[in-house]
């Protein structure tokens, strides 16, 4: 029998009957952990060990919740994973009752500021970016060409402008433009153009014959007009070079205006922070997500806005979120978004179990139930004051649920449309995911990843697992990092390295 003072299992709740292996190299068969648990197999880092004998059909409990049932008799010390755990049914939405809680009075957090770009409409940006969007995918080749040309020839003349970015997408033609679900991609494109980091200076390049008319994408703001739209089929253009010259002329007008923007002191209440996790592992719900949740509470206490998302990574924990709704209307909206997505998945002949990836399972997450219970930790403990439908803008300061698919780049796209000006992304397996339009703070859930990806990770939450730091200490560290990144005084790895994902529309509507 092997024993080691360094061998560690973590329980996430006193009622858990499994422990999580924290050792970076895992634990070997025969290792004695605690007083009386002897491992019956080699168990990798992040994976679960039975702390008691569990007869067939026993509850498997983590986070104090049932994450599944054993499909055979499980002796104490057994490695528990998706092979010996049966997934439970999701919470019955109709059975989740709501009682309006007493109005919480969180201690306000005052005096925290960042240096941001204040816009005429009152919103605040954390970057100063020229945005170019399109009304139809046909013109994406031109957009890529012109963006590269602007960066090389025009951007150096305007040192106050951080970047020029193109929002290319696969929408605009061959679509059922009036189908009910078409509202989702259309309003997503429209609202991304209104992201505060663009400073109301967005260009739209259209073809001319598409179903999605560029005029539908203009904000109602008087600071934007139809002179920001160019059609490549415009008969005023004779040949490619004249199209390019026309676009460059419009781009320079916008760059001149953006170059006049200056950072100024803004309260932390102007932050709109998107919380997202991807490439998750069993540590995500132990370290990174709880630390992000604590920081989310700080942003809310400071008067700011936090978005958490990913419907399938909320669905199995919805019974824990509905009681946190600020009122009955929000509670019903939460359940309605879950029901809509249940129907969407059923129509596609899959269920929520399709979410969990091979990497999630290798990292110790046996099923979507376990994943969801860890995922919601990044929402903190604040009341949920609003629900943002896919592609809509956030309307209420505080903690909001932005209904999105769990796909990293689709979720990020919809959070941009909601008005996010700062992104926090928690990962356990690792991903180079990044967005060009907003800073993305990458948080690792374990130090093994952070040490290996030392130049891709911005903050390591791994020390929480070993008691070297508390969730509160790490949450405050992340909060201060948010303010520095939002101010432009700290550059995140994705910006330093230029690692940016394409945006991806959520389009549940039919194509014609």
Residue-wise pLDDT for 241-279, tens only, equals 999 999 999 999 999 999 999 999 999 999 999 999 999
How far apart, in whole angstroms, are the C-alpha atoms of residue 142 and residue 239? 13
On the question of pLDDT at 90 being above 60, the answer is yes
Same domain, 66 and 164: no
Q: What is the pLDDT of residue 219?
A: 72
Please count the other Cβ atoms lying within 10 Å of the Cβ belonging to residue 83: 10
Band (pLDDT 50/70/90 cuts) for residue 2 is: low
Residues 366 and 277 in one domain: yes
Question: Does the pLDDT at position 7 exceed 90?
Answer: no
Cβ burial of 138 (10 Å; 0-12, 13-18, 19+) is middle
Report the distance separating Cα 430 and Cα 360, nearest Å: 11
- What is the rounded radius of gyration, in angstroms, for the C-alpha atoms of the chain? 24
Position 126 scores a pLDDT of 98
Task: Give ∠ CA 201-399-98 in degrees, rounded to 5.
Answer: 140
C-beta of residue 146 within 8 angstroms of C-beta of residue 153: no
CATH of the domain at 34: 2.30.130.110
CA dist., res. 318 & res. 320, Å (int): 5
Contact assessment for residue 281 and residue 430, using Cβ atoms and an 8 Å cutoff:
no
Neighbours of 358 (CB within 10 A): 8
Residues in the chain: 512
> Cα(330)–Cα(101) distance, rounded to whole angstroms?
13
DSSP classification of residue 43 = B
CB count within 10 Å of CB 223 equals 12
Residues 182-203: tens digit of each pLDDT: 999 999 999 999 999 999 999 9
Domain presence at residue 103: no
pLDDT (average), residues 132-141: 95
Is residue 336 scored above 50 in pLDDT?
A: yes
pLDDT at 223: 45
pLDDT for 27: 95
Mean pLDDT, range 149-172, rounded to an integer: 96
What share of the chain has pLDDT > 90, as a percent?
92
Measured from the Cβ of residue 271, the count of other Cβ atoms closer than 10 Å reads 25
Q: Does residue 99 belong to any structural domain of this protein? A: no
Last residue of a domain, one of 89, 105, 133: 89
Q: Is residue 512 part of a domain?
A: no
Structure token digits, residue 49:
């060990």
Angle at alpha carbon of residue 354, lines to 353 and 360, rounded to 5°? 85
* pLDDT tens digits for range 485-499: 999 999 999 999 999
What is the C-alpha separation between 461 and 287, in angstroms, rounded?
Answer: 6
The verdict on residue 74 lying in a domain is yes
Cα 197 to chain centroid distance, Å, stands at: 17
With a cut of 70, say whether residue 236 has pLDDT above it.
Answer: yes
Q: What is the CATH number of the domain that holds 175?
A: 3.40.1400
Mean pLDDT of the chain: 94
In this structure, the answer to whether residues 487 and 397 fall within a common structural domain is: yes
Q: Return the biggest CA–CA distance within the chain.
A: 83
Of 233, 258, 283, the residue that ends a domain is 258
Residue 323 domain-assigned (yes or no)? yes
Residues 370 and 471 in one domain: yes
Of 45, 72, 89, the position where a domain reaches its end is: 89
Backbone angles phi, psi at 317, to 5 degrees: -120, 15
C-alpha–C-alpha distance, residues 144 and 210, integer Å:
19
* Same domain membership, residue 241 and residue 314: no
Is residue 382 predicted with pLDDT exceeding 60?
A: yes
Residue 38: per-residue pLDDT: 96
Cα–Cα distance measured from residue 475 to residue 469, given in angstroms and rounded to the nearest whole number = 10
CA 269 to chain centre: 20
Q: Are residues 289 and 227 in the same domain?
A: no
Q: How large is the average pLDDT for residues 452-472?
A: 96
Model pLDDT, residue 316 = 97
| Predicted confidence (pLDDT) at residue 307 exceeds the cutoff of 60 | yes
The Cα–Cα gap between 57 and 84 comes to 10
Distance CA 503, CA 433 (A): 11
Average pLDDT over residues 375-394: 97
Whole-number Å distance between alpha carbons of 29 and 41: 4
Q: Are residues 169 and 313 in the same domain?
A: no
Q: Give which of 283, 211, 216, 223 is closest to 253, Cα–Cα.
A: 223
Residues 251, 283 share a domain: no
Residue showing tokens 């309307």: 395
Q: What is the mean pLDDT of residues 461-481?
A: 97
Q: What is the pTM of this model?
A: 0.95
C-alpha–C-alpha distance, residues 477 and 486, integer Å: 14
Q: How large is the average pLDDT for residues 321-345? A: 96
Token pair, residue 32, equals: 């004695």
In 3-state terms, what secondary structure has residue 85? strand
Q: Are residues 23 and 167 both part of a single domain?
A: no
For the chain, the domain total comes to: 3
> Is residue 14 included in any domain, yes or no?
yes
Q: Which of 436, 441, 438, 435 is nearest to 456 (CA)?
A: 441
**Confidence band of 101 (pLDDT split at 50, 70, 90):** confident
Positive or negative CA dihedral for 198, 201, 207, 213?
Answer: positive
Residues 143 and 232 in one domain: yes
Same domain (yes/no): 63, 157: no
Q: Is residue 108 part of a domain?
A: no
> Cβ(188)–Cβ(172) under 8 Å?
no
Describe the strand order of the beta sheet including 31-33 as a list of residue ranges: 2-3, 31-33, 37-38
Say if residues 251 and 130 touch (Cβ distance below 8 Å): yes
Among 278, 478, 309, 506, CA closest to 391: 506
The mean pLDDT value for 173-185 works out to 92
Q: Is residue 102 part of a domain?
A: no
Summary count for the chain: helices (H), strands (E):
12, 24
152: helix, coil or strand? Answer: helix
Give the residue numbers spanning the domain of 126.
116-258
> How confident is the model at residue 62, as a pLDDT?
97
- Please report the pLDDT score of residue 4 as a whole number: 46
Same structural domain, 336 and 384: yes
């Amino acid at each position: 029998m092997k024993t080691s003072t360094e061998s560690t299992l973590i329980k996430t709740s006193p009622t858990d009957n499994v422990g999580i292996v924290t050792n970076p190299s895992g634990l070997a068969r025969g290792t004695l952990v605690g007083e009386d648990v002897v491992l019956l197999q080699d168990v990798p880092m992040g994976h679960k060990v039975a702390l008691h004998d569990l007869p067939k059909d026993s509850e498997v409990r983590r986070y104090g919740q049932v994450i599944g049932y054993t499909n055979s008799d499980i002796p104490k010390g057994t490695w528990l994973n998706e092979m010996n755990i049966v997934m439970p049914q999701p919470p019955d939405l109709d059975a989740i009752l709501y009682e309006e809680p007493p109005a919480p009075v969180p201690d306000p957090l005052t005096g925290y500021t960042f240096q941001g770009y204040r816009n005429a409409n009152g919103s605040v940006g954390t970057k100063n970016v020229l945005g170019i969007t399109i009304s139809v995918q046909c013109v994406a080749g031109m957009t890529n060409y012109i963006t590269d040309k602007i960066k090389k020839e025009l951007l150096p003349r305007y040192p106050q402008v951080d970047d020029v970015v193109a929002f290319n997408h696969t929408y605009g033609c061959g679509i059922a433009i009036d189908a009910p679900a078409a509202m989702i991609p259309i309003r997503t494109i429209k609202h991304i153009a209104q992201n505060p980091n663009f400073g109301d200076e967005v260009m739209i390049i259209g073809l001319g014959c598409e179903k999605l008319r560029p005029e539908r994408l203009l904000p109602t703001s008087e600071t934007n007009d139809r002179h920001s739209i160019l059609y490549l089929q415009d008969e005023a253009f004779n040949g490619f070079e004249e199209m390019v010259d026309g676009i460059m002329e419009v781009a320079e007008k916008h760059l001149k205006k953006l170059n006049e923007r200056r950072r100024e002191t803004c309260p932390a209440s102007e932050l709109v922070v998107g919380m997202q996790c991807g490439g998750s592992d069993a540590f995500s719900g132990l370290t990174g997500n709880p630390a992000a949740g604590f920081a989310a509470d700080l942003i809310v206490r400071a008067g700011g806005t936090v978005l958490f998302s990913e419907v399938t990574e909320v669905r199995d924990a919805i019974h824990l979120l509905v009681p946190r709704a600020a009122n009955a209307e929000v509670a019903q909206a939460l359940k309605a978004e879950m029901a809509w997505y249940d129907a969407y998945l059923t129509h596609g002949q899959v269920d929520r179990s399709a979410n969990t990836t091979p990497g999630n399972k290798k990292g110790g997450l046996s099923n979507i139930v376990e994943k969801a219970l860890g995922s919601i930790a990044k929402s903190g403990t604040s009341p949920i004051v609003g629900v943002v439908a896919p592609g809509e803008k956030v309307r209420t300061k505080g903690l909001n649920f932005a209904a999105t698919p769990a796909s990293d780049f689709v979720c990020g796209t919809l959070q941009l449309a909601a008005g996010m000006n700062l992104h926090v992304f928690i990962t356990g397996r690792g991903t180079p995911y990044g967005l060009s339009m907003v800073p993305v703070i990458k948080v690792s859930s374990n130090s093994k990843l952070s040490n290996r990806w030392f130049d891709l990770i911005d903050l390591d939450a791994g020390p929480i697992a070993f008691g070297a730091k508390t969730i509160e200490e790490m949450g405050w560290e992340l909060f201060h990092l948010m303010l520095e990144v939002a101010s432009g005084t700290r550059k995140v790895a994705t910006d330093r390295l230029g690692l940016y994902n394409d945006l991806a529309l959520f389009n549940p509507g039919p194509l014609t």
